[in-house]
Structure 1
Amino acid sequence: MSHASGSCRTGVLLLGFLISFLAACVCVSAHEIRPAYLQIDQIGQNRFNVLWRTPILSGMRLPVLLKFSDGIKPVTEQMERELSDSVIERNVIESPGELAGQRIDFVGLQATITDVLVRVSWLDGRKATEFVRPAQPWIELSDRQAAWQLAKTYTTLGIEHILMGFDHLLFVVGLMIIVSSTRSLIKTITAFTVAHSITLGLATLGYAWVPADPLNAAIALSILFLGVEVVRLWRGQTSFTLRHPWIVAFAFGLLHGFGFASGLTAVGLPSSDIPLALLAFNIGVEIGQLAFVLLILLLHRALRALQFDPPRWASYAPGYLVGSLGAFWTIERTLMLF
């Protein structure tokens, strides 16, 4: 199979899927949806520190308010601090009895697409971590949680992070367009996976760090780079990237790993949860990524079975989308640096 013919056939299959989320990609400027975070720590008899962190999306604070069960009351003034990507509120509450079993409502959450990660800890060592969804914007606190439940929570976070990270998915699309065979695809995706797993671990454990704005610009540039390589492929030219896509995938995968880490650290990950959370989150990212790749391959096979004959422009649309969105995001994010 030639590079050109392989690219065209793969491009046809990717077209429908890419167009389906193109509007969403542009609207969110390729930023993943960061969850809100609620941390409640017992500090005394029926007294708890409360940290409520809400993300700032498109320059606006998430319009969600906390509403505790009747009887739970604040005992200190609320302190608020605004960061570049979120707003943090702190205060102390007092419960008339055991906090487990009490209900918290997240007023306004149902009108958003943002989840809330809730973590509660007691002085006797009990801990619980759960997700709250917009479809059910409330939670009844529990004081019992098995390790598998915690792992499930962070695995879900990883899956959602990659599936809502349109820039990461578009990079994977670019890789799939330039590979010439199934073997090359497996090798390339594996290299990307290994690379971003390395930097995800290093960043989460605190051994490496990249500022968010330059990182986002660099990730956009990696997508633009693949767009250029797709055009070179169509022209029948060659390059180091087209001959060895797995090496380029590994190099840029190191960069994307820092982006994945932001999704894990943005929720204020407690140090005690890091080992299990890191493993589960990475597994979730891989599940989401493999599901995305398999979906495209299944579409490919389905269209071949149907002997679908698309117009010529459809074969090239995915490549142009990769390059155009990569260019748009690169310019947008570079301007944000200044």
Structure 2
Amino acid sequence: MNRWFAVLSVFLGLVLYPTSASADELRPAYIEMTEQSPGQWSLLWKASTNSRLGQTGEIIIPENCEVEGDRQREYSGSNILTRLLLRCHGPVQGQTIGLKGLELSTTDALVRIAPMGSAMQTVRLTPDQPSATLTKPSVISNVAATYTIIGVEHILLGFDHLFFVLALVLLLKGGWLVAKTVTAFTVAHSITLVGTTLGWLSLPSQPVEAVIALSIIFLAIEVVKAKPDDRRLSERFPWIVAFLFGLLHGFGFAGALAEIGLPEGDVPLALLTFNLGVEIGQLAIVAVALAALYVIRKLRSNWLHPTKTATAYGIGIISTYWFVERMIA
């Protein structure tokens, strides 16, 4: 019993901190520069109100640009929006844009530059590279690479979606069965992600996020109560369960993508590559989890069941916290 609680305590210690205290810190910031008339640009900067970047960060504007008028700041939901008008002397290509304070943050920033009469450029800033030199973009490769990376990061840092996939791996036996079930989850969340992003589907975000937490609690309970001689609902119909819950998770992905924004004129490509990135991230989770279970089975087979159960308890406890938090928010 002591070993049981030791494993569970270590798991909660590793997972609970980044899922609660730093959740908003992981949300990407967003900068958009749009040329409204020759030399006249509007700039929008969006950052989470709870992130260090949103509170203390500063925009690094191109050197050939100057601010005209007062900057405007307003709150929109959980974001701080900063708006500027810029007068730029000459093209912004070859100039530097960035965020002061990003190097002290744990998030990234997505920058979109939309000049008149030429292709939009998408740039990704990171804590390691908080500024970038604007060049004439190769639109297809630029947008595809950026949104693929964002998709991978969202599934790996979006702990609710990660926990759902991990719970599927814990519940099901056999790599092929897990792969087919995760594929059903992918197909389902792709449907609602695309439908919501294109404006065909809509659900309020708060109840959706609460039900997503419930879906993880359901799977955690299934893992804990699983018995070799009594197959539970999700073991008998894993593809159906994953598909139905995947539809809900797709609304969650769409909400995250709405926070980031999509490049005008390249929405289909951005959607496709974001979804591809999510799938790459899911497969990485499945591969790592299956490898870990395989190692435990080979080295200490009697540890396998307690490890699965302790992990499921940890997932269930954290997801219950999320559910309560999202219901009262």
Would you say same fold, with TM above 0.5?
A: yes
Structure 1 position 125 matched with structure 2 position 118:
yes
Q: Please, which of 276, 291, 296 is the counterpart of residue 269 of structure 2?
A: 276
Of 149, 157, 160, the residue aligned with 1:156 is: 149
Relative to structure 2, which stretch is displaced further, 56-65 or 120-129?
56-65
How far apart are the structure 1 equivalents of 2:25 and 2:56?
18
| Residue 54 in structure 1 maps to residue 43 in structure 2 | no
**Aligned residue number for residue 176 of structure 1:** 169
Deviates more, 1:283-292 or 1:312-321: 312-321
**Alpha-carbon offset, residue 21 of structure 1:** 4.2
User: Which amino acid in 1 is paired with 2:315?
Assistant: V
1:153 counterpart letter in structure 2: T
Are 2:68 and 1:75 equivalent residues in the alignment? yes
Structure 1 pair 109/25, CA: closer, same or farther in 2 (3 Å)? closer
Task: Give secondary structure in 2 for the equivalent of 1:300.
Answer: helix
Q: TM-score, normalised by structure 1?
A: 0.87
SS at match of 2:69: coil
Partner of 1:232: 225
SS in 2 for 1:282: helix
Q: What is the total number of aligned residue pairs between the two structures?
A: 324
Task: Using the TM superposition, name which of 70-79 and 243-252 deviates more.
Answer: 70-79
Query: Who is 1:210 aligned against?
Result: 203
Q: Structure 1: which amino acid aligns with 2:224? A: V
In structure 2, runs of 5+ residues without a counterpart are 1-6
Moved more, 25-34 or 112-121: 25-34
Query: Greater relative contact order: 1 or 2 (C-alpha under 8 angstroms, separation 6 or more)?
Result: 1
> In the superposition, relative to structure 1, how do residues 69 and 190 fare at CA in structure 2: closer, same or farther (>3 Å)?
closer
Contact 1:110-1:135 within 8 A present in 2 as well? yes
TM-score with structure 2 setting the length: 0.89
Counterpart in the other structure of 1:248: 241
* TM-aligned CA distance change 1:59 to 1:332, over 3 Å: farther
Deviation at 1:155, TM superposition (A): 0.2
How far did residue 331 of structure 1 move? Answer: 1.5
Which of 16, 37, 40 is the matching residue for 1:44? 37
RMSD of aligned C-alpha atoms? 2.7
Distance 1:139 1:321 in 2: 40
Alpha-carbon distance in 1 for matches of 2:315, 2:16: 14
Judged with a 3 Å threshold, the aligned counterparts in structure 2 of structure 1 residues 312 and 259 are, in CA distance, closer, same or farther, namely closer
In 2, distance between residues paired with 1:129 and 1:61?
21
User: Could you tell me how far apart the structure 2 residues matched to 1:250 and 1:20 are?
Assistant: 31
Indicate the residue corresponding to 1:110 in structure 2. Answer: 103
Contact kept? 2:213, 2:322, Cα under 8 Å: yes
Unaligned regions of 5+ residues in structure 1, if any?
Answer: 1-13
1:282 CA drift (Å): 0.2
* 1:68-95 Cα shifts (integer Å, max 9, x gaps): 2444211232222211121222221012
- Greater shift, 274-283 or 82-91, is seen at 82-91
Matched, 1:329 2:322: yes
Is residue 66–residue 87 contact of structure 2 (8 Å, CA) maintained in 1?
A: yes
The 1:249/1:17 distance shift into structure 2, 3 A limit, reads farther
Question: Structure 1 residue 61: deviation in Å?
Answer: 3.6
Task: Give me the whole-angstrom Cα distance separating, in 2, the residues matched to 1:134 and 1:52.
Answer: 17
